[in-house]
Structure 1
Amino acid sequence: MVPKADFRSYYGRPIVRPAPWTHDVAAYLFTGGLAAGSALLAAGGQATGRPRTRRAGRVAALGALGASTYFLVADLGRPERFHHMLRVAKPTSPMSMGTWILSAFGAAAGTAALAEAAPLVPTRLARRVLPPVGAVAGLGAAAVAPALATYTAVLLADTATPSWHAAYPELPFVFAGSALASGAGVGLIADPAPPTRRMAVLGAALELWGAHRIETTKGILSEPYATGRPGRLLRAGRALTAAGVAGAVLGRRSRVVSALSGLSLLTASALTRFGIFDGGMASAKDPKYTVVPQRERLSVKES
C-alpha cells in the first residue's frame, strides 16, 4: 500500500506565510459588521417611524464603530498609522478603501447618534437643527453600511491565504448576512418590530447560504472550515443563527424570547467571523492546502 502523502516544506515552514494578524482582526470583522447592520436598522426605524428602533440602531452603530476602531488601531500597532493611510486613496487596495469607508461611515454615524441627544440640549435652536441633520446623517451611514460590511471580505479574499482566497465569491454574502443578522439582533433586543424580524430572516439566509457554500464547494480548501476550532465555531454559529431566527419568527408575542433571539444572533455573528478567520489562518499554516490545489490545477491544464 502506498502511504498517505505527507506534504512538507523546506525547514518545516509554511509555504504561504500566514497573515500577521491576531484575533483583534477577527473582533474588528465582527464589530465592523455590527456597526453596518445597526446603521441599516436605524435607517429602517427612521423610514418606518419607529423612534426606539432608530435610537437603538444609531447608538449601537456608534458603539460598535468605536470598538471596531480600537481593534483596528490595536492591530496596526500605532494610532498614527490609521491617519497615515488616509494620505492616499488607492482603489486597488482593499485596506486603503476600507480606511476611507470607515472614516466616512464614522462621520455619518457619529452625527446621527449625536442627534439622539437633541432632547437633552438646553438651546431651542439645537433641538430644531439636530433632528433633521441626524436624519440626513443616518441615511448617509446606511448608504455606506453595505461597503463597510463587505469590504473586509474582499480584504481577506485578496490575500494568498488559500481558504480565504478560494472563498472570494461567497465571503461578501457571508459578511453581509452576518452584518444584517447582528443589526437585527440589536433591534430584537430593543424593539422587536416586524421589519426587524424580516431583517433577521434575510441576514440569516444570506449568512447560512454563503457559509454552506464555503464549507462544501471548495474541495480540500473547505476542510479548514469544517475541522478543529474553526469547525466548532462555525457549527455553533449555525446553530445559534437557526435558533435566533426561529425565536424571532415564533416568539412575536414575547419580549423575552425576542431578546434571547437577538442575543443569539449577535453571538452567532461573532462566532461566524472568528470561525472564518481561524479557518483561513489554519489553511496558511498547513502546506497541503497550498500544494494539493496547485497540483489539481496543473493536472487540469495538462489534460
Structure 2
Amino acid sequence: MPPVEFTSYYGRPIVKPPVWKWDIPAYLFTGGLAAGSSLLAVGGQVTGRPALRRAGRLAALGAVGASAVFLVHDLGRPARFHHMLRVAKLTSPMSVGTWILTVFGPAAGVAAVAEAAPWLPERGVPGLARRVLPPVGRGAGWVAAVTAPALATYTGVLLADTAVPSWHEAYPELPVVFAGSALASGAGVGLLAAPVRQAGPARRLAVAGAAVELAAVHRVETRLGLLSEPYRVGRAGRLLRAARLLTAAGAVGALVGRRSRVVSAVAGAALLAGSVATRFGIFHGGVASARDPKYTVVPQRERLDRRTADG
C-alpha cells in the first residue's frame, strides 16, 4: 500500500464550516443563563431569600423563552421544533436537548407565575389561586433546578458531537466550560437584582462558576495542541481574553462587594458579559477550525505517524 497523504484541494476546507449564525451562540448563552438562574432561585427558596428567588425565577423564564426564540429562528419554522418531539433518541444531543427544554420551560414558567400570587385578590377564585400557586411554584422550581444541569451542559455535548475539529477534540472540556459559565451568569443575575443582604448564595455561586469556567477554558486553550490555536487567535481569541477578564473581575467584585450595592451590580454585569463572550468565543473558535484545512489535515497526519510508530 502506498503511503497515505492527507491533502486539501487548493486549500479549501475539508470539513464543511457550520452555517449557524449569531442566534446559535446566543442560544448557548440564554440556555446557560436559564439553568444558572433556576439554581439561584432554588437556593433563594431554600435559604429564605425571596428577592433572590424572585430574580432567579423571572430570569430563568425570560432566558428559556429567549432560547426558544433563537432555536426556532435557526430552525426556520416553529413546526420543526414540534417535529423533533416525535422521537426521543438518546444518542442524539439535539433530540435530548429538545426534551430537556420541553421539561424545563413549563417548570420555569409555572415557578415564575407563582411569583405573582402575592398580588392576586384575596377573595374568590383568584384568592384560591393565591393560596395554591406558592406551593406549586416551589415544586416547579425544584423540577427546573433538577433539569438545569442537563440544560447547562448538553449544548457542550452538542458542539463536541460534530466533526468541527476544535469542538470535537475538546469534548471533555466543553460541557464543563458551559456548566461554569451557566453558574457565573446565574450568579450575575442575583448580584444585579437582589439586595446585598440576600446575595450571599449568588456570591458563592459566582466564585464557584468563575473558577470552573476559567479552569476549563484554560484547558481548552492549552491541551489540544494545534487545535487549541483557533481559541487563542482572531475573533475567538479576543472574545475569550475579554471573557477571562470579565469573569475574573466579576468574581472578585462579588467577594469585595458584600456591603456595596453598586459594586455587586457591576460584578453581576461583568459576569453576564463574560458568559456571553465565552459562548461566542467558543463558537467562533470552532468555526475558524473548520474553515482552515490545516486543523483537519495536520492532526490526521499526526495520528497516522503515531500509529506507524506503534507498529
Q: TM-score scaled to structure 2, two decimals?
A: 0.94
Q: How far apart in 2 are the matches of 1:225 and 1:108?
A: 36
Query: Percent of counterpart pairs with the same letter?
Result: 73
Q: How far apart in 2 are the matches of 1:292 and 1:103?
A: 41
Contact kept in structure 1, 2:11 and 2:293, CA below 8 Å: no
239-248 vs 7-16, which moves further? 7-16
* 1:196 alignment partner AA: A
* 1:77-88 equivalence runs, <5 A: 77-88=76-87
Q: How far apart in 2 are the matches of 1:220 and 1:13?
A: 19
Equivalent of residue 158 in structure 2, options 155, 158, 176:
155
Match of residue 253 from structure 2: 247
Match of residue 13 from structure 2: 14
Q: How far apart in 2 are the matches of 1:118 and 1:31?
A: 26
Match of residue 3 from structure 2: none
CA deviations 1:65-120 (Å, max 9, x no partner) are 11111100010011110000001100000000000000100010001001001022
Equivalent of residue 203 in structure 2, options 193, 197, 206:
197
Contact kept in structure 1, 2:164 and 2:290, CA below 8 Å: yes
Does 2:134 match 1:131? yes
Q: How far apart in 2 are the matches of 1:87 and 1:120?
A: 39
Q: How far apart in 1 are the matches of 2:104 and 2:158?
A: 18
Q: How far apart in 2 are the matches of 1:198 and 1:209?
A: 17
Match of residue 110 from structure 2: 111
Q: How far apart in 1 are the matches of 2:263 and 2:290?
A: 41
Equivalent of residue 175 in structure 1, options 175, 178, 181:
178
* 1:104 alignment partner AA: V
Unaligned 5+ segments in structure 1 are 1-6
1:8 CA displacement: 6.2
Q: How far apart in 1 are the matches of 2:278 and 2:36?
A: 15
* 1:141 alignment partner AA: A
1:13 CA displacement: 2.5
114-123 vs 8-17, which moves further? 8-17
1:9 CA displacement: 2.0
The RMSD of aligned alpha carbons is 1.0
Q: How far apart in 2 are the matches of 1:242 and 1:252?
A: 16
Equivalent of residue 240 in structure 2, options 234, 243, 255:
234
Q: How far apart in 2 are the matches of 1:202 and 1:13?
A: 42
Match of residue 37 from structure 1: 36
